[in-house]
Amino acid sequence: MRFQTKAEIALALLDQARAWAVPHRCVVADADYGDHPNFLARLETRQEPYVVAVRTDFQVSIGSAETSPVWRADQLLHSVPRWQWRTVRWRRGTKGWLRKKFVAVWCWRVTSDGLRHRGCLVGERAPRGQPEERKYYWRTLPAETTLAELARLAHRRYAIEQFHEEAKGELGWDQYQGRLWPGFHRHAVSVMLAYSFLVWLERRQQHRPERLGHAGAPFPPALGASPQHAPSRAS
């Protein structure tokens, strides 16, 4: 098989999904893809909206002219007044709502060849009272996309990371011992199907209405005991 980088594999999977007419809102990715200018350019060539994480030294400019100064992502967003940042909640976690402060600045990303591509730099930082943590994203979603929707899309990758962790710990995804590529694919598909079934089963249990009254006996009644003397427990 011909060697392919992670970005090339991702684009090939995206092309396959488009050929199968798989519905999707946008492409999300971590900073390993966001710092790959060819990956971003090919997404734009395919007219695929995306929200990808980028690192602090991501090059941007607030002007389209070649003479416009170039900033690092962290430098540009550090210059944005604090009152322009908005607190956004996007998902309820085990300890309550997850919330951070976000801001979006329309600008141009600058590649190593000096070309400039229109888009939006998004900053994320912790609100007051939480440990300081800053993240940066580059997006090409429409201008009417709200910060709340943007935050939800940017954090969709959490489900992927959760799947990686739980599939390895619970379903043996990292225990494949074969050597052939088709065998690895079969193993991966089996794990994904099993994981999907467990997630569906968990959601079904969560949404099942609670039954009122007395539940049945947890074990069959003892031999010789009449049904009316069988043990019971309150729900």
Mean per-residue pLDDT pooled into runs of 10, the chain (235 residues): 88 95 92 90 94 94 87 93 90 81 93 89 88 90 89 88 90 84 89 93 83 53 46 45
Residue 224 backbone zone (phi > 0: left; psi -120 to 50: alpha; other: beta)? left
Nearest to 220 by CA among 230, 233, 234: 230
- pTM for this structure? 0.78
Instruction: Judge contact between 101 and 124, C-beta under 8 A.
Output: yes
**Phi and psi at residue 179, in whole multiples of 5°?**
-125, -15
Query: What's the confidence (pLDDT) of residue 230?
Result: 45
Q: What is the DSSP string of 121-141?
A: EEEEEPPTTS---EEEEEE-S
Q: Would you tell me how many other CB atoms lie within 10 Å of the CB of residue 34?
A: 22
Cα 203 from chain centroid?
A: 19
Q: Six-digit token pair at 122?
A: 């998004």
pLDDT score recorded for residue 37? 87
**In this predicted structure, what is the pLDDT of residue 189?**
92
Give the pLDDT score at 211: 65
CA 49 – CA 113 distance, rounded (Å): 23
What does the pLDDT read at residue 234?
46
Inter-CA distances, 195 with 22, 155, 159, 177, 191, Å: 20, 20, 12, 20, 6
201: part of which helix (H) or strand (E)? helix 181-207
